[in-house]
Amino acid sequence: MSNFEYHKPQTVKEAIGLMESLENAKYIAGGTDVMVLIRQGKLAPANLVSLRNITELNGIDIQNGVKMGAGATHTEIANNGFIRKRYSALADAAGNVGSKQIRNVATVGGNICNAAPSADTACPLLVFDAKVVIAGKSGSREVPIDDFFLGPNKAALGPGELVTGVVMPAFGENTGSAYIKHARRHAMDLPILGIAARVTVKVGGSEAGCRDAFGTSDMSQIIRGLEKEKVAFEDVRIAMSVVAPRPVRAKKAEEALKGKIISEKLFEEVGEIAASESQPRDSIRGEAWYRREMVKVLTRRALLRSINRIVGPETTDPDRLW
């Protein structure tokens, strides 16, 4: 392992100043990506600038949407009651990163700045139209998350810039979301594929009928029940990971759903469209054809889970059912 100097700035300004003045310097937050790379010899910084003592980067503020500090850990996010209820897809993702030990130290800032195509929080942040708050020596700016991911391990950060937080707009009661990480094991595994959905729906029929529709584990029956109650998509976001060099939105599939009443045929069409928007490759975790097929399956599942979180019974645990 390379030798490095470890710096512990107390403020964002100090951290940016250090990055400017030091040779071959790298930010480190939880260190769960950085230290692995250093140990593997793929990274050899002369200086590590730690973000852990910067209190400005901490906390989760839930007024008028959500503002999370870049230093918020996956455990803090997954355990936040408001995020679990109103930004469920993000809680689903944060609660499934690595292991408990990893989640306790790894941060959301580190997850998005590392910009892995498989980063678990990326898809949820895409479906919530999140903006990344970036600080640099000439001030602060906000970048839509869709413009932040540039490619494998490439984020839209200039020299010395650091992410101070992530903001997400507020959504109404008729909005629900879900993230499904498709992996071989539940813990300590990167996804073969990740899909997040966020939907805002309008119920033309009865709310009780919608709740009853979720009283079965048969997905086709659930869809028929929701169709009977004229459940229509007002607004939709779908995001996919590990199907392209960076996490991406399935924008054509989103468009195809808007304003339509749920039906089996609609879900089939939308699954095909989402699959056509993916460009997966073969890897040790899964082959391209398999990933494309799973896009169809998981898009349907993520949409249904999102609707379940709006109109379904709170006791339903889709993880066990579907």
Residues found near ligand FAD in the complex (CB under 6 A): 26-34, 36, 51, 70, 97-98, 102, 106-107, 109-111, 113-114, 119-120, 162-163, 188, 190
In 3-state terms, what secondary structure has residue 73? Answer: strand
* Least distance CB 74 / ligand FAD (angstroms): 6
| CB 273, min distance to ligand FAD, A | 26
Residue nearest ligand FAD, CB atom distance: 110
3-class secondary structure for 9-71?
CCCHHHHHHHHHHCCCEEEECCCCCHHHHHHCCCCCCCEEEECCCCHHHCCEECCCCEEEECC
Rounded CA-CA distance 134/306 in Å is: 30
Compute the CA torsion angle 156, 159, 163, 164 (nearest 10 deg). Answer: -150
Considering the complex, state which of residue 109 and residue 176 has its C-beta at the smaller distance from ligand FAD: 109
Q: CB of 161: closest distance to ligand FAD in angstroms?
A: 7
To the nearest whole angstrom, how small is the minimum distance from the Cβ of residue 287 to ligand FAD? 21
Nearer to ligand FAD, 95 or 209 (CB): 95
- On whether the CB atoms of residues 253 and 238 are closer than 8 A, the answer is yes
Q: Name the E strands within the chain.
A: 5-7, 25-28, 47-50, 60-61, 66-69, 131-136, 139-144, 149-151, 154-155, 162-168, 175-182, 193-203, 231-241, 248-249
Name which of 110 and 225 has its Cβ closer to ligand FAD.
Answer: 110
> Smallest gap, in angstroms, from Cβ of residue 77 to ligand FAD?
10
- Longest Cα separation, the chain: 66
Nearer to ligand FAD, 103 or 296 (CB): 103
**Which residue, 120 or 229, is less far from ligand FAD as judged by CB?**
120
Pick the closer one to ligand FAD by CB: 186 or 320.
186
| Nearest distance from C-beta of residue 75 to ligand FAD, angstroms | 11
